[in-house]
């Protein structure tokens, strides 16, 4: 059971949806419908909307030039919890605006509030998702959502301390554990944060020492959790048959024991499909575990050149150096 305290938001917030902006609508349809096997709930010339459960929309692709995440939706239990979040944002001078009716419809929610989160990602808060009656028509048995939410986001940053504090101070996120992985001559430190029973809803990755962030997009990947190993393996096979490139083939993470693969999306960031990720039992969990590799086994790049390997992990040093000069937005000081 997810633990709840009257003054803590822990367990009251979960990942709800992702909104992606891309010109590559046909490629996204192929990836999400034919590859991952999601239910295509709505399609027009400018929009794709997918279901993975009873929620009317979970992954939305809207036509636009950025080839990036346009927003991440966070579902909040009720108005009281939403009020706590709004108060904390207000106390820190973080501006919040209400979404329009048209924007709410696009996202499949009754209404929402938006603010600019770390690294400029629009974070959107809502309490009431629209639900669908129509039976799911998917090429897969199910995705794991519910109290755990949609999945997770992994974000690279040059301001990891601020980003960590943001999630802890605004959402009462708890540190699950950490991984440090040598990569391209640098050390990558990753902190895994949970908002609820899911081992992590947010992963924050930063290079140690000289801070470089070679990832162009607001998140490096987003993750969905498949219900069974068959679902995972069949999705992998379908994606390979469609000619989609695996940024990392099937492997297993040491901390949440999740078996997963990463497919390169048409927008250039990665999408991780996982299976069998552990849920944290709050009693007795201490965030002291520190692993020394991202993977127990596997997760090898399909194109195994050194440049490609680093590129799909964290980009190459040249792009990193360029990014190092660009200021990174943080909503908290
Ligand atoms: Fe992940």
- Per-residue DSSP letters for 129-160? B-B--SPP--SSS-B--GGG-SEEEEEE-S-H
pLDDT of residue 6: 55
- pLDDT at 223 exceeding the cut of 60: yes
Quote the pLDDT of residue 259. 98
How many angstroms does the Cα of residue 130 sit away from the middle of ligand 1? 27
Where b means 16+ CB within 10 Å and e means fewer, 93-122 reads ebeeeebeeebbbbbbbeebbbbbbbbebb
Q: Summarize pLDDT for 21-35 with one digit per residue, the tens.
A: 999 999 999 999 999
What is the reported pLDDT for 324?
62
Distance 200 CA to ligand 1 centre (A): 9
Q: Which domains does the chain have, with CATH numbers?
A: 13-126 (3.10.180.10), 146-324 (3.10.180.10)
Measure 274 CA to ligand 1 centroid, in angstroms.
8
Q: How far apart are CA 266 and CA 263, in angstroms?
A: 10
For residue 2, what pLDDT is reported?
Answer: 45
How many Å lie between the centroid of ligand 1 and the Cα of residue 6?
A: 30
pLDDT above 90: residue 290: yes
**pLDDT above 50: residue 214:** yes
Sequence-separated (6 or more) residues with CB below 8 Å from residue 278: 199, 256, 257, 258
Summarize pLDDT for 164-208 with one digit per residue, the tens.
999 999 999 999 999 999 987 889 999 999 999 999 999 999 999
> Could you tell me if 20 and 70 are in contact, meaning their C-beta atoms sit under 8 angstroms apart?
yes
What angle, 0 to 180 degrees and rounded to 10, lies between the N-to-C axes of helices 160-171 and 79-91? 140
Q: How confident is the model at residue 315 (pLDDT cuts 50, 70, 90)?
A: very low
Give pLDDT, residue 323. Answer: 63
pLDDT of residue 325: 67
| 80 CA distance to ligand 1 middle (Å) | 30
Does position 308 have pLDDT exceeding 50, yes or no? no
Distance from the alpha carbon of residue 154 to the mean position of ligand 1, in angstroms: 6
Average pLDDT over residues 97-110: 98
Q: What's the CA-to-centroid distance between 118 and ligand 1, angstroms?
A: 18
Whole-number Å distance, alpha carbon 223 to ligand 1 midpoint, is 6
**Percent of the chain at pLDDT above 90?**
86
Q: What pLDDT score does 309 carry?
A: 47
pLDDT of residue 326: 77
Of 75-79, 81-85, 284-288, 327-331, minimum mean pLDDT range: 284-288
CA distance 56 to 274: 22
What is the Å distance from ligand 1's center to 153 Cα?
7
- Gap between the Cα atoms of 287 and 309, Å rounded: 29
How far is ligand 1, taken at its centre, from the CA of residue 296, in Å? 14
Top-confidence residue, 278 or 304 = 278
β pairing state of 113-116 and 97-98: antiparallel
**Average pLDDT for 30-43:** 98
Q: 183: Cβ–Cβ under 8 A, 6 or more apart, which residues? A: 310, 313, 314
Q: What is the mean pLDDT of the chain?
A: 93
Among the listed residues 144, 146, 108, the one whose alpha carbon sits nearest the alpha carbon of residue 124: 108
Query: 274 pLDDT exceeds 50?
Result: yes
């Amino acid at each position: 059971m997810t633990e709840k305290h009257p003054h803590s938001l822990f367990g009251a917030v979960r990942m709800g949806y992702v909104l992606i902006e891309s010109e590559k609508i046909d490629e996204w349809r192929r990836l999400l419908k034919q590859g991952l096997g999601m239910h295509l709930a709505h399609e027009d010339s400018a929009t794709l909307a997918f279901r993975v459960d009873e929620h009317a929309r979970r992954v939305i692709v809207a036509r636009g030039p950025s080839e990036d995440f346009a927003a991440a939706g966070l579902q909040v239990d009720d108005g009281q919890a939403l009020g706590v979040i709004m108060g904390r944002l207000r106390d820190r001078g973080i501006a919040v605006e209400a979404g329009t009716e048209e924007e709410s419809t696009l996202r499949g929610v009754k209404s929402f509030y938006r603010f600019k989160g770390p690294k400029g990602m629009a974070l959107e808060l809502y309490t009431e998702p629209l639900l669908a009656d129509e039976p799911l028509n998917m090429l897969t048995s199910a995705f794991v959502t519910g109290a755990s939410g949609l999945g997770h986001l992994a974000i690279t940053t040059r301001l990891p301390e601020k980003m960590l504090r943001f999630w802890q101070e605004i959402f009462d996120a708890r540190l699950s554990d950490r991984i440090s992985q040598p990569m391209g001559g640098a050390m990558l430190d990753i902190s895994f944060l949970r908002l609820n029973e899911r081992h992590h809803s947010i992963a924050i990755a930063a290079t140690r020492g000289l801070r470089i962030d070679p990832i162009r997009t607001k998140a490096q990947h987003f993750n969905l959790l498949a219900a069974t190993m068959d679902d995972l393996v069949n999705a992998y096979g379908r994606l390979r048959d469609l000619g989609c490139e695996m940024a990392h083939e099937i492997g297993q993470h040491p901390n949440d024991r999740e078996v997963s693969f990463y497919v390169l999306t048409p927008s250039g960031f990665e999408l991780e499909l996982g299976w069998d990720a552990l849920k944290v039992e709050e009693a007795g969990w201490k965030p002291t575990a520190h692993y020394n590799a991202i993977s127990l086994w596997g997760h090898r790049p399909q194109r195994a050149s050194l440049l490609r390997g680093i590129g799909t992990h964290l980009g190459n040093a040249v792009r990193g150096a360029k990014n190092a000069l660009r200021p990174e937005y943080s909503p908290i000081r």
